[in-house]
Chains A and B, each alone.
Chain A
Amino acid sequence: MKSQNDKITFILNGEKVSYAGNPMDRLVDVLRENFEFTGVKEGCGEGECGACSVLLDGKNVPSCIIPVATVQNKEIYTVEGLREVKMFQILVNSFADAGAVQCGFCTPGMMISAYALLQSNNNPTDDEIREAISGNFCRCTGMNMIIEAIKLAVNRLGETE
């Protein structure tokens, strides 16, 4: 049996949580199954598609190739934890208005990557936007409408500042 000390503690969507299971468990499984944040999607399990993206200390990372042990004392956000955040809401509205959502399976991961970009760069170029989401596959939209959605969000953020 594990002792209390073996628990992995981290901040998840603003709350301190701990996980007592196997430290090698994949973060995606822990988030989806133990904490029921199913907004984190699994598309490949190989770190390629970006559907499982979460914010790890503000950076977008694929949670399917990260053992939960590595997030000890770190801060994780999934889309569920961002619902009340203004910048995220602006992104959501922009995705809806720009027609950037089809099947939606890539969308939460895409939102995470877009959010991470806008947090670090409030006026990204087209190329920077492309680069920021190049690790997020979308098989439905052809990507240009997603890029436009992010640009729309940039403009709206500029207006509200």
Chain B
Amino acid sequence: MALIINEEQQMLKSSVKEFLKERSPIAQLRHLRDTKDSTGYDKALWTEMANMGWVALNIPVAYGGLDFGYTGLGQVLEETGRTLTASPLVSTVLLSATAINLGGNLLQKEAVLPYIAAGDLIVAFALEEGRHHHPTNISTTATGKKGGYSLNGKKVAVMDGHVADKLIVAANTDDGVELFLVDTNTEGITTERVISMDSRNYANIQFDNVFVSENATLAEYESGAALLERTLDIGRIGLAAEMLGGIQETFDRTVAYLKEREQFGVKIGSFQALQHRAAHLFCEIELCKSIVIKALKAIDDNSDDLPRLASLAKAKLGQTYQLVSNEGIQVFGGIGMTDEEEIGFFIKRARVVQRMLGDSNYHLDKLARMKGI
């Protein structure tokens, strides 16, 4: 398992990069924000991405996908991280398609995956309930009822929840946690759109006696809890890939500014105090690249080491995105604090994506527990 991407993956990455630079620069996110777009993403862009197959990379050919693997999807995520492209890629493709593909039965897969692959269906992943990521402690309940279950509880921070056609909901049954596939228009579901600091959307969703049939569980995996953990680990690695893009873009912009801005009659990049901070960041970023490629390949290899790698990736990338986004603003000086300068968009995304699916503290703690300390 060489820690490099192959030629096909490299070609994919280059074409995504070119496309997004043209179609979805940061200005696009600013536009969505300033026009108070009701969806929060660019539907036409999403359709174009789907036409190129980029939202179907992790979906099997039998269900209209390309079966190109997560290392490939990681390249797309990385590039969307560079341009901060707002799209349902994480909620729908990275998380929901993964969960359905791993845990869904034939009918569920047929009903959902081809439509995700075509860019026609948005599926959000409803997991979080409190201030902090705590996937092993779920309060939403699924109580057995004739022919199905009744869901009750409240979910928060559901990415793209307000535009989703379907939800995957983690809820507790008598036999432990299960994932349920639910239509958003089912009676008893109330969705409140929340606009977050990165100008994207994280809905709060209330479930009041929501009836779902017994065929709604994703029950083909070892257990609901195991399916949830596996999906989350894959999601964490995918997010780390997105973060890697954001980190590199922030760094590249910072280094470019070091070479351009003059004070005291010289380029500020000639000051050693700034050079050493940049050089240190360079080293941190190289470490980040290694864990991201290693973890992506581990998904495609169906590795047992995934929990460790996912936590390493999410912990390190979270810390580094935080550091690089802070340093970026410091190096830009006053202009870095303005809304007009784009560097500020990265610190906002950094903080949001840090919190999603467990922050660095959560994952270092998880790693420590794995090691028995």
* Chain A partners chain B: no
Interface residue ranges, B against A (CB under 8 Å): none
Q: Which residues of A contact B (CB under 8 A)?
A: none
